[in-house]
Amino acid sequence: MKKLCLFILLIMAFSMGTKGQKPSITLTFTAADKNTYVQLDSIRVSNISQGVDTVLFYPDTVLVLEYTVGIPGNKKQEEGFRVIQNGQNPVTDQTRISIFVPEKDKVGINVIDVRGRSLLKTDWQLDRGYHSFSFKSAESGLLFLTATWRGKNCTVKILSEGTANRENALVYAGFESSGLIMKSNAKVLGFAFNPGDSLIYIGYAMTPAGIKGSDVLEDRPQSSESYLFEIVEGIPCPGIPAVNYGEQIYTTVQIGTQCWLKEYLNIGSMVDSLIDQTDNGIIEKYCKDNDPDYCSTYGGLYQWAEVVQYLNGATNTTSWYPVPNGNVQGICPSGWHLPSDFEWCTLTTYLDPSVDCNVTGTSGTDVGGKMKETGTLYWDPPNLGATNESGFSARPSSYRYTYGAFISDIGLNSYPWAATEYNSIRAWCRTLYYDSAVIGRNGNQKSGGRTARCIKD
């Protein structure tokens, strides 16, 4: 009888231990720039399935995600006091901080720099629930924001670029009684996770040339994984690191006040270069030498009427009527549009104030170099002045002549459309050159085939 009781107790202990165990998966991150290892500054991991995210800061490049099988954990413990950073890192303007308070009481918030110097200190009387704050920093570098509730401290790291002409500020941004949606049996420091969830990873690093760069990856990990970020110049647009359109992933880049897709569009069905694209309700594209692999690498080529989707009666030989007011979506995804001549001007003068937007022809000093992808993998040598400092990452593209042939050397120039007419048979476009760092602005024949970029509404 004693042996039987002992056996039952052992079975119960094993069962409780098994049901209460927390398996985990480990995500390991490294980064390279053109096969050269680079040090990651930070890594943002967003769980699209759960609506939460977290940030790792160097030297932390490994994320362990725990999830519970069997008996859920104690809800009171799961909903303990915590601080979650929901904003972009590195922080260029402001970041959003969420604080969960288990019971109403005073919460102190203190921000210090790496030298321990206090930059901001304030107290708040907060009800139970999730409270959001917007933090703006006048300091650059690594900062530590610590929230204190009933003697418990929670700290997040903020990698700030700072704005010297303003003061440090913490602004209350809102309250939710139940706030973030988190599963009580699948979270790590507020990061809810189940195997198979859709995760987006953004890695930030400096390139060997000292330019801020990033890369965006997506996965649904079921087990431990190792990821390599291929760092490219430029920082994703806050909150919109990538766009899924036409079963393809386009990454984004923030340049000044504008948010751009980082690649030329490759959307639509390929048609033979000897025929015109038509208003048939189907997006049509040309690919150099009628080879779809060219479109996959360099983007599709479109006649101007096709790229604006025949808006207001637009054709390649007549002007649209009336001239549209506002954005022209054209073949861009919802929420995005084709850049106007004015928006191209905003981009280029931001990068190079010497650009003259009233000139037909070339202008500027180094704007083209700041927009071109570096190296000669895609561009013909010498790819003069290319730094891709802006992250625009322009590759060269072919060009379809009006009679259906293509420029033979694809590595020479890049020819993106604007949504603005030049006259009834021509529209504005920009040109980037393999042998120059300037930019071209010309009115080109609508019936030719050129690339298309999209800008956020």
Q: Which of 352, 334, 341 is nearest to 417 (CA)?
A: 341
Q: Which two tokens stand for residue 174?
A: 């809102």
Give the model's pLDDT for residue 87.
57
pTM: 0.69
Q: What is the CA angle 246-379-338, rounded to 5?
A: 40
- φ/ψ of 294, rounded to 5, equals -65, -40
The dihedral through the CA atoms of 168, 173, 178, 181 has a sign that is negative
What is the phi/psi pair of residue 293, to 5°? Answer: -65, -35
CATH 2.40.50 fits 92-180, yes or no: no
| Dihedral in degrees, nearest 10, Cα atoms 326, 331, 335, 340 | -40
Q: What is the pLDDT of residue 443?
A: 97
- CA–CA separation, 173 and 152 (whole Å): 23
Residue pair 452/309 in contact (Cβ under 8 Å)? The answer is no
Q: What angle do CA 355, 235, 283 make, to 5 degrees?
A: 75
Q: E strands within 246-360?
A: 248-255, 258-261, 269-270, 284-285, 336-337
> In the sheet that 141-149 helps form, which strands lie side by side, from edge to edge?
118-126, 105-113, 141-149, 152-160
Q: Strand 52-57's sheet: what is its strand order?
A: 52-57, 40-47, 199-206, 212-219, 232-233
* 25 close to 225: Cβ distance less than 8 angstroms: yes
The 3-state DSSP class for residue 290 equals helix
Q: d(Cα 92, Cα 444) in Å, to the nearest integer?
A: 38
So what's the pLDDT on residue 382?
98
Strand partners, 66: 24
CA 399 – CA 328 distance, rounded (Å): 23
| Residue 42 to residue 202: CA distance in whole angstroms | 8
Q: Where are the beta strands (DSSP E) in 18-104?
A: 24-33, 36-37, 40-47, 52-57, 62-66, 82-85, 94-101
Structure token digits, residue 152? 């418990």
Is residue 322 reached through a cis peptide bond, with omega within 30 degrees of 0 on the bond before it?
yes
Write out the chain's pLDDT in tens, 457 residues. 444 444 444 444 444 444 445 688 899 999 998 878 899 999 999 888 888 888 888 888 899 888 766 544 434 334 588 888 765 567 777 788 888 898 889 999 999 887 888 889 998 888 888 888 888 888 888 888 899 999 999 888 888 876 666 688 888 877 665 443 333 233 344 578 888 899 999 999 999 989 999 999 999 998 889 999 999 999 999 889 999 999 899 999 999 999 999 999 999 999 999 999 999 999 999 999 999 999 999 999 999 999 999 999 999 999 999 999 999 999 999 999 999 999 999 999 999 999 999 999 999 999 999 999 999 999 999 999 999 999 999 999 999 999 999 998 999 999 999 999 999 999 999 999 999 999 999 999 999 999 999 999 9
Neighbouring C-beta atoms of residue 316, cutoff 10 Å:
20
Please give the Cα distance from 225 to 230 (Å, whole number): 16
8 A C-beta contact, residue 96 and residue 127: no
Contacts of 286 (CB under 8 A, 6+ apart): 270, 271, 273, 277, 300, 301, 302, 400, 406, 449
Cis before residue 59, ω within 30 degrees of 0?
yes
pLDDT (0 to 100) of residue 41 = 92
Query: Exposed e or buried b for every residue in 274-296, given b needs 16+ CB within 10 A?
Result: eeebeeeeebbbbbbeeeeebbe
Of the candidates 129, 101, 133, the one whose C-alpha atom is nearest the C-alpha of residue 120 is 133
Could you give the CA distance from residue 395 to residue 118 in angstroms, rounded to a whole number?
46
Domains 34-67+186-235 and 92-180 share a fold: yes
Class of domain 34-67+186-235: mainly beta
Q: Is 193 helix (H, G, I), strand (E, B) or coil?
A: coil
Under DSSP, the state recorded for 247 is T
Helix (H), strand (E) at residue 426: strand 426-433
Q: Where are the domains of the chain?
A: 34-67+186-235, 92-180, 242-456
- pLDDT score of 88: 54
Q: What is the pLDDT of residue 4?
A: 44
